[in-house]
A and B are shown apart, each in its own frame.
Chain A
Amino acid sequence: MRGRGRVWWRLVVAGVHEAAAYRLALLGGLVANVTFGFLKYGILTATVAASGGVVAGYDAQVMSTYIWLSQGMLGSVNLFGRTDLSDRVKNGDVAVDFLRPLSVQAAACLHDIGRGLFALLPRGLPSVAIGALLVGIALPSSAAGYLLGAVSVLLAIAVSATTVYLVAVSGFWLVETRGLQVLYMVTSGFFAGLFVPVGLLPGWLQVAAYSTPFPAMMMYPVDVLSGRVAGWAAAGLVAAQLGWLLATVAVGAAMTVGGRRRLEVQGG
């Protein structure tokens, strides 16, 4: 068990190294995040102002916090649906992954988590800092708030990795997963609250959103960190994230086993 823990840790570190290698990509991502942040800021604060200062529990300060935290997390969670693994499933390289003495699911997800964790430093923090300096944001008032927020961000990165893994391994049945990836991209952004907070959606769309793992990738940690949801309700959101993590890991494990049986590699 100790040996396996070390291998898993190394996979996370490998993800960190991969993300750290492409410095220009990190800068490019930051520039894009901040530009979209300012565009979101204009239209969303205008919405808050036009509806009398508060809309769905968001005042100007909380809205600004939502914008910069969500922009900051964008580099760490996968809302595009594209993964290296889906290419490997399509071209058959995944057969080699199955030969290795470790779980394909754990390897793919931990690598993703490592990448996501690293991106918090060069993309997440500057994004939030720029927002805090230029327009002001609300942050937790207690150490417990920060701790719960940190756990929530970590869980969001993990849920994103284990969910996007499901898209990749559905390739065992579909072969070409591009259509599914595009569908994932559209729904994940909308339901994770990328452009509009989930709380602003009409009731039936909120129900639809909360029945997917997508809010757990961005909306929940932002709500916890911004203090829009506090106390036991915040702990409830973190518990929901944990639930989604367990569920996606379980489905992913079952699909990995089933997919391995279906996998047929031709040629040699």
Chain B
Amino acid sequence: MADTGVAAAPPAVRRDRWRPYRAVIGSRIRSQRAYRASFRMDLFSTGVIGLVELAEVLVLYRTVDALGGLDVHQILLVFGLADLGFSLASVVVGHVDELPKFIRSGTLDVFFLRPQPVLLQLITSELSLRRVSRALVGLAAFCVGLVTADVPATPRTAALLTMALVSATAISAAQYVTAGGLQFFLIEGREMTNSFVYGGRYAATQPAAVWSAPVRAVFGYVFPMAFCGYLPVLAVLGMPGPPGLPAWLAWCTPLAALWAWAAAMLCWRWGTRSYQGAGG
């Protein structure tokens, strides 16, 4: 579908590197909007997923005032940042999770034949608009937290939160790409990567102070999920962090995002280099 658009383009236009990607994304957006009833149902369902995930956090606060040093307003802020970041990442790169399907059916080979980077093609092959409704749940939680949690209205807060949101999106997106790279080896064992993609999302919405030391090492540093919401919120509110995760690390969230992307690109390179095709 998109190939015909590229092939028909005159040589002068073909030099525009982004044109093929724009054509594909445009076609994906149009195709999702074509079936309106189905799209609305999808929007609704993904919104409900976000609401249930929020409810699972709030339910715990019915019996307690604070968990891991955070009260319900503060946890809304953590949940909002982390979930908004994750949802935005899934809109843009969430479909990379479908890679095992492409590998198994052999359709991935087509991506290798085109003169464009495979990862960029895969990312731009779809735009999961239905996941936007879930981002709205995260945004709402974030806004409520921002208003009720006694956040100091200073430029420092704005800088920390902006940095956190951008980094949270980047870190979550990196987990999808890391998982994608590993899928080349796992294929049927794809559930293993769920532990840091979806487990990572779950971890990012939690107060890291409740974690045991090994979990803190894994989701604090290896998969830097504590940087998505928890550490920035601690820094904004001027609270100390648990052992091993001091609050000043919040200023290093871009470094955490860089680390996550470095790991993701390594995994992706490793995966694509060793891919030999599924025949056919």
Interface residues of A (CB under 8 A from B): 22, 24-25, 27-29, 31-32, 34-36, 38-39, 41-47, 50-51, 55-56, 176, 178-179, 182-183, 185-187, 189-190, 195-196, 200-202
Closest to B196 in A: A35
CB–CB B60/A196 < 8 A: yes
CB–CB A190/B56 < 8 A: yes
Check: B48 CB closer than 8 A to any chain A CB: yes
Name the A residues within 8 Å of B45 (CB-CB): 179, 182-183, 186
Spot the interface stretch: B109-117, B161-169, B185-193, B256-264.
B185-193
Interface residues of B (CB under 8 A from A): 38, 41-42, 44-46, 48-49, 52, 55-56, 59-60, 62-68, 186-196, 199, 202-203, 206-207, 210-212, 214-215, 219
Q: With both chains docked as a complex, state the minimum distance between the C-beta of B219 and any C-beta of chain A, in angstroms.
A: 8
CB–CB B63/A186 < 8 A: no
Q: With both chains docked as a complex, state the minimum distance between the C-beta of B278 and any C-beta of chain A, in angstroms.
A: 16
Other-chain contact of A43, B55, B191, B206 (Cβ < 8 Å): B206
B interface, over-half SS:
helix
CB–CB A42/B210 < 8 A: yes
CB–CB B56/A47 < 8 A: no
Q: With both chains docked as a complex, state the minimum distance between the C-beta of B11 and any C-beta of chain A, in angstroms.
A: 42
Bound state CA distance, A46 and B69, in angstroms?
Answer: 10
Closest to B53 in A: A195
Name the A residues within 8 Å of B219 (CB-CB): 39
Also in contact, A42 and B41, with CB within 8 A (given A29-B191, A32-B194, A36-B202): no
Bound state CA distance, A44 and B56, in angstroms?
Answer: 11
Q: With both chains docked as a complex, state the minimum distance between the C-beta of A10 and any C-beta of chain B, in angstroms.
A: 24
CB–CB B63/A47 < 8 A: yes
Name the A residues within 8 Å of B41 (CB-CB): 179
Name the A residues within 8 Å of B196 (CB-CB): 35
CB–CB B199/A200 < 8 A: no
Name the B residues within 8 Å of A202 (CB-CB): 59, 62
Q: With both chains docked as a complex, state the minimum distance between the C-beta of A188 and any C-beta of chain B, in angstroms.
A: 11
Bound state CA distance, A190 and B58, in angstroms?
Answer: 13
Name the B residues within 8 Å of A183 (CB-CB): 45, 48
Q: With both chains docked as a complex, state the minimum distance between the C-beta of A47 and any C-beta of chain B, in angstroms.
A: 5
Q: With both chains docked as a complex, state the minimum distance between the C-beta of A134 and any C-beta of chain B, in angstroms.
A: 9
CB–CB A28/B48 < 8 A: no
Other-chain contact of A196, B48, B56, B212, B214 (Cβ < 8 Å): B56
Q: With both chains docked as a complex, state the minimum distance between the C-beta of A132 and any C-beta of chain B, in angstroms.
A: 16
Name the B residues within 8 Å of A31 (CB-CB): 191-192, 195
Name the B residues within 8 Å of A190 (CB-CB): 52, 55-56
Name the B residues within 8 Å of A32 (CB-CB): 191-192, 194-195, 199
Name the B residues within 8 Å of A50 (CB-CB): 63-67
